[in-house]
A and B are shown apart, each in its own frame.
Chain A
Amino acid sequence: MAVCVAVIAKENYPLYIRSIPTENELKFHYTVHTSLDVVDEKISAMGKALVDQRELYLGLLYPTEDYKVYGYVTNSKVKFVMVVDSSNTALRDNEIRSMFRKLHNSYTDVMCNPFYNPGDCIHSRAFDNMVTSMMMQVC
């Protein structure tokens, strides 16, 4: 369903980025990069309030003709960006939310691994599998 999933660290460098149609990878990388601006904008908009009051799910960041970009921020300013194919109209907001929740849970599991240094790229196979499960349908 998702064509590209990215995990961006607090300092806005990617911890994990993966896209399904691998030939267009660069395009998705660029899309994710540009969406970071939107994410920051959304964060600062509600940033007046306390962090906890901020909703983690940011919703649709911006749509293009081909796909839509959704964002999600954790309380530690780690951002999840998901690019979804626009043709996939059946995708509802709740589903996107659940996908982000799964992402967040998997990310937490990765974090719990003592062998993972925060800030490293994510190489966890479990995380990969989970992302694959989210992205598989497209191929």
Chain B
Amino acid sequence: MEGLTLSEAEQRYYCDLFSYCDTESTKKVAPNGRVLELFRAAQLPSEVVLQIMELCGATRLGYFGRSQFYIALKLVAVAQSGLPLRVESLNTVKDLPLPRFVGPKNEQELRHTALYSSDADNSTPYSGVIPPPPGRVQVKKGSVSHDAVQQRTSTDQQESTSPVVSPQQSPPTSPHTWRKHNRHPSGGNNDRPLAGPGPFWAPFSEAQPGSSATGDPIWSGHSPPPHQENWVSFADTPPTSTLLAMHPASVQDQTTVRTVASATTANEIRRQSSSYDDPWKITDEQRQYYVNQFKTIQPDLNGFIPGSAAKEFFTKSKLPILELSHIWELSDFDKDGALTLDEFCAAFHLVVARKNGYDLPEKLPESLMPKLIDLEDTTEVGDQSGEIGYSSSPAEAPPSKSPSMPSLNQTWPELNQSSEQWETFSERSSSSQTLTQFDSNIAPADPDTAIVHPVPIRMTPSKIHMQEMELKRTGNDLANPTSPLLVKPPDLSEENNVSSSKFVAGNTVADGYSSSDSYTSDPEQIGSTVTRQRSHSGTSPENTAPPPPPPRPHPSHSRSSSLDMNRSFTVTPGQQQAGVVAYPPAVPPRPPPSQGVGPHVHRPVDAESLIAHTSTSPQQIPEQPNFADFSQFEAFAASSVNEEEENEIETHSEVLQVEKPSDSAGSLRVSKTDGRVEDKAAASVPVNAGKGTTPLAPPPKPIRRRLKSEDELRPEVEEHTQKTGVIAAVLASQPSIPRSVGKDKKAIQASIRRNKETNTVLARLNSELQQQLKDVLEERISLEVQLEQLRPFSHL
């Protein structure tokens, strides 16, 4: 009581203890709670305790003041020393050892003893298990001890279920008792990680010899430093350490624990547990168990467990579906509907935790998060065994065997090249989205990928594609298909600038058309157009859209055509010198390629071109003396036009017509020697005949170009009626052209050449069509005759 003199160490010790007991910091310690616990921990008979309390005056006061507390402690020490409890002994007994409190207190005491009495080796942590937390000793001690007491209680309750749990491992406490304990208001909060891992084991009856073995010696050792460390670190370390400390302790009164347990402690525990997520850490044995279970479902450790299989598996655990659903949400990290090994282990761990009474966390604990790194199992296992229960690193994750879970979503695009990722990819339901990306990303020839993705092929030929095709097709002097294209436009532009621009452009376009018209409209038409262009300097490079007809086999006609053109040109002058002069520059308004044998696509365009032609024709009709000639052909062509779309050629042949007098058409025809010649011949005839004829199905692009260049002409294009118009237009264009002859002679001549070629082609086509028409007519006549013959018989 009074006059209590305490040694230095005692003073400190008592002060610590008082702080510990004084949870409310009121400088008064109630007999209940920690003090009581403390006294019990002193392992003194209860009557002695009562006596002590009496002596120190607590019973009088009803609480422990600081002095009373100190006295009591001293008395405890006295009692523990075996000395009779006397007030006098307080001061008389010298060198009284510090009171020892068994169990948590004991540890603490020991620690304190070590601290105060001897600066013992606090260094060596509990075999390195629990790293000493940074200086959180005093306050935490109290909580720690409290926790320890609580844990101990629970552990004691669960003694039956599992042996001593080493601090290294999650205490294998029985799930049931733990659960009961958790239900106590003592704040056995479900986050109490202490028993969590342990109970997990219990259901799986995992032996923990190692743990107990390790635990016992440690415990038996009671070495202050380790305990000290434990205690010190407990504040920061997972409850496992507390459990360790507590486990060997004597049985604690559950009620005491309950009463002792305070919200603060619970919070501290929770905080401690959550701060390091150690309760969720999977121990080595646990993980092994999980892995084995995983193998039963999915032998490949790098593979996935589909959602349905996982559902069946976890339903066996008899947890409510709602909770299983929540567990799934937590564990399926990448939200793909399948579980990798990591995810599976996390899910399993959560199931075990839940079964043992732990509430499911809202967020996946870090230790359960699947890691992206492909860590070595061995190394991690080793770490785990050594560090189970350690709080050294909060994020200590179980070995992640399978590659990348959370990052998978992000790494998927990067993974497209590796085949194995392809496999995983294919398994993932959510991969469908990225698959499309892959399709686009994957190079057509990716030898690395096990999965061959069909490379999307462009159905619509792009300009480049067309050019490529042209390249293939042309195979002639066309060194660079694009170049002619490129060349052409300048010519076009020049011509446009020079003369009735449209006509010029039309010319070039027509050339392109003519080249393409000879064949069916194909994507290759453009190619042919290009080839044409080479020879005709015609097709515009914009002929990308509609597939051009098959490439003309006579791309080399450029020369020949030019020659022909020249020849024809020379011939034509006979007919129309002036016209000839005029012709070259006069590019037919919209030279319909007209070679395309009926690319239907071109039809409308041709019609337009024809219309355009017609529009011009009326204007020009009176101008040219050659109209008469043309009109002949025109009539001739008209008939054929009706039958063929290739009249387009004739529209193109407008240009040709312009350039070639009616006779020239024939001459052109003759001159033409290549396939193109056919068309040209056909074209030339029909050109002359039906200048307004709609451009034969030239590739839409050239047609378009033609149209573009011949805006005015376009509106009225019409195949059948246009011929005359075309002719007229052509003729009309002629006079206008000469204006700029001087400027663009070359261009004009080139266009003339082109036109002539087109003409010949068209003429040939026309002739063929005429032939067909004749044949058909003959057939018709014969049929009619037969009918007539039969009729009389029918009457009979």
Point out the residues of chain B lying under 8 angstroms from A136, CB to CB.
Answer: none
Determine which residue in A114, A123, A124, A126 has the highest number of CB atoms from chain B within 10 A of its CB, and name it: A114
B310 in contact with A124 (CB, 8 Å): no
Minimum CB–CB distance for A16 against chain B, Å: 14
The verdict on B271 contacting chain A, using a C-beta distance below 8 Å, is no
Q: A112-B307, A114-B308, A114-B310 are in contact. Are A124 and B329 (CB under 8 A)?
A: yes
A112 in contact with B310 (CB, 8 Å): no
A115 in contact with B430 (CB, 8 Å): no
The verdict on A92 contacting chain B, using a C-beta distance below 8 Å, is no
CA distance A126 to B335 in the complex (A): 12
- Please classify how large the interface on chain B is, using the bins under 10, 10 to 19, 20 to 34, 35 or more: 10 to 19
Point out the residues of chain B lying under 8 angstroms from A48, CB to CB.
Answer: none
Main secondary structure of the interface of B (DSSP, over half): helix
The verdict on A76 contacting chain B, using a C-beta distance below 8 Å, is no
Q: When the two chains form the complex, which single residue of A112, A115, A116, A125 contacts B362, counting CB atoms closer than 8 Å?
A: A125
A114 in contact with B307 (CB, 8 Å): yes
A115 in contact with B335 (CB, 8 Å): no
The verdict on A93 contacting chain B, using a C-beta distance below 8 Å, is no
B362 in contact with A113 (CB, 8 Å): no
Return 10 A-B CB contacts under 8 Å, by A number.
A113-B307, A113-B325, A113-B328, A113-B329, A113-B337, A115-B314, A115-B324, A123-B322, A124-B325, A129-B362
CA distance A116 to B329 in the complex (A): 10
Point out the residues of chain A lying under 8 angstroms from B322, CB to CB.
Answer: 123
Residue interface bits B316-334, CB-to-A below 8 A is 1, else 0: 0000011011101100100
CA distance A127 to B308 in the complex (A): 21
A115 in contact with B337 (CB, 8 Å): no
Point out the residues of chain A lying under 8 angstroms from B311, CB to CB.
Answer: 114-115
Count how many pairs of residues, one from A and one from B, have CB atoms less than 8 Å apart in the complex. Answer: 39
CA distance A112 to B428 in the complex (A): 11
The verdict on A41 contacting chain B, using a C-beta distance below 8 Å, is no
Which residue on B lies nearest to A112, using beta carbons?
B337
The verdict on A109 contacting chain B, using a C-beta distance below 8 Å, is yes
CA distance A126 to B307 in the complex (A): 18
The verdict on B336 contacting chain A, using a C-beta distance below 8 Å, is yes
Minimum CB–CB distance for A59 against chain B, Å: 24
Minimum CB–CB distance for B423 against chain A, Å: 20
CA distance A108 to B311 in the complex (A): 18
Q: When the two chains form the complex, which single residue of B314, B325, B328, B332 contacts A123, counting CB atoms closer than 8 Å?
A: B325
Point out the residues of chain B lying under 8 angstroms from A125, CB to CB.
Answer: 326, 329, 362
Q: A124-B326, A125-B326, A125-B362 are in contact. Are A113 and B321 (CB under 8 A)?
A: no
Point out the residues of chain B lying under 8 angstroms from A123, CB to CB.
Answer: 322, 325
Minimum CB–CB distance for B429 against chain A, Å: 7
CA distance A129 to B311 in the complex (A): 24
Considering only residues 109-139 of chain A, those with a C-beta below 8 Å from chain B are: 109, 112-116, 123-126, 129
Determine which residue in A108, A112, A115, A125 has the highest number of CB atoms from chain B within 10 A of its CB, and name it: A115
| Closest 9 pairs between A and B when the two form their complex, measured CB to CB | A114-B307, A114-B311, A115-B325, A112-B337, A115-B324, A109-B335, A113-B328, A126-B329, A115-B321
Point out the residues of chain A lying under 8 angstroms from B429, CB to CB.
Answer: 112
